[in-house]
Amino acid sequence: MHGSALMTRDVDVVCALDAENLVRIHTALDKLHPVHRMTPAKLPFTRDQAMSGGLKYLYLTTDWGQLDCLGEVKGVGDYKACLGSSEILEIDGQSMHVLSIDALIQAKRAMGRPRDLHAVLELEAIRDQQRKSNS
């Protein structure tokens, strides 16, 4: 989204993971056969599970690929904090909130894995180049 050459194999979505929103997520994904990616048996994500709520993270595999529903982002915060640290981008005619490059750098630094720290270096270079171009 910000011009990084680094790719991931999933889509991360920050959202409220209360029961009401989990039911919405289940309804939206049901025909894509969502299963819990982090369980050895790859158990289906059911409406009953959605109705119980109380999740912090939901890692799914669907017919279209991997989807991570995050109740919070380390280094940034919960859904409301992420929304406040986002910018609106238009992609294929659709407007959506994405973490600002500064918030993404903050999150990657807080996660601290080697691949995240590598991403920080690239994202900082992109941010610095964007700032030079805008000045």
Return d(Cα 104, Cα 109) in angstroms, integer.
8
pLDDT digits (tens, 9 = 90+) for 89-131: 998 999 999 999 999 999 999 999 999 999 999 999 999 998 8
The pLDDT score that the predictor gives to residue 96 is 93
Residue type, 91: I
The pLDDT score that the predictor gives to residue 6 is 66
The half-sphere exposure of 2 on its side-chain side, counting CA atoms within 13 A, is 25
Return d(Cα 75, Cα 132) in angstroms, integer.
26
pLDDT digits (tens, 9 = 90+) for 4-46: 766 677 899 999 999 999 999 999 999 999 999 998 899 999 9
Return d(Cα 5, Cα 86) in angstroms, integer.
20
Burial class of residue 5 (count of CB atoms within 10 Å of its CB; 0-12, 13-18, 19+): exposed
What average pLDDT does range 49-61 have in this prediction?
91
- Would you list the domain boundaries of the chain? 10-70, 86-134
Instruction: Tell me how many helices (H) and strands (E) the chain has.
Output: 5, 8
Residue type, 82: C
- The model's pTM is 0.85
